[in-house]
């Protein structure tokens, strides 16, 4: 029995001398409201965790990619890691396209993969959200990260664009 539902049932039993009156409309309605509240909270928690999953997978990739580094990464190295992340499903997409018979529409899975690649390429153009890999202390925090959402608060993030204005201004000098 969920915690909130158990609390409501316990309060009802306390007022009734240890019995839970199943025929009482008021008590039944209280229990129904508590049950619906619990279900709503579970649904909201599931949707929040589903929304955070891609971010956790992305951070996990950068954790694994920086596992053997001995010094902070440069901007070009970070961009290479981002390129590999964005194009991680290119082989799978090519396989789906090869398997498709001529004249047939693309599969749903192939369409979703293509959309994800386009979306991530656009994010990379405007600024890809990654852990700050130019700071050694932050890389150490990333290596100690346990995979939970709460522990992400200790890691600093930054946006890395495909072409920074800093790089172009340095070239002009």
- Domain positions in the chain are 1-51
pLDDT at residue 169 greater than cutoff 50:
no
Average pLDDT in the 54-82 region?
91
Residue 130, Cβ density class (10 Å: 0-12 exposed, 13-18 middle, ≥19 buried): buried
Give the separation between CA 30 and CA 19, rounded to whole angstroms: 15
Per-residue pLDDT reduced to its tens digit, 94-120: 998 888 888 888 889 989 999 999 999
Per-residue pLDDT reduced to its tens digit, 39-60: 999 999 889 888 888 889 999 9
Backbone CA torsion sign across 90, 93, 94, 95: positive
């Amino acid at each position: 029995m969920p915690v909130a539902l158990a609390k409501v049932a316990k309060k009802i039993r306390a007022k009734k001398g240890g019995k839970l009156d199943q025929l009482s409309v008021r008590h039944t309605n209280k229990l129904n409201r508590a049950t619906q509240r619990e279900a709503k909270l579970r649904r909201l928690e599931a949707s929040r965790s589903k929304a955070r999953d891609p971010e956790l997978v992305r951070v996990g990739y950068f954790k694994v990619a920086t596992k053997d580094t001995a010094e902070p990464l440069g901007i070009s190295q970070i961009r290479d890691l981002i390129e590999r992340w964005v194009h991680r499903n290119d082989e799978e997409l090519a396989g789906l396209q090869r398997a498709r018979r001529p004249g047939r529409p693309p599969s749903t899975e192939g369409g979703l993969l293509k959309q994800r690649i386009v979306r991530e390429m656009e994010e990379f153009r405007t600024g890809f959200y990654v852990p700050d890999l130019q700071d050694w202390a932050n890389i150490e925090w990333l290596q100690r990260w346990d995979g939970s959402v709460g522990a992400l608060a200790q890691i600093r993030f930054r946006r890395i664009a495909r072409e920074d204005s800093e790089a172009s201004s340095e070239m002009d000098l």
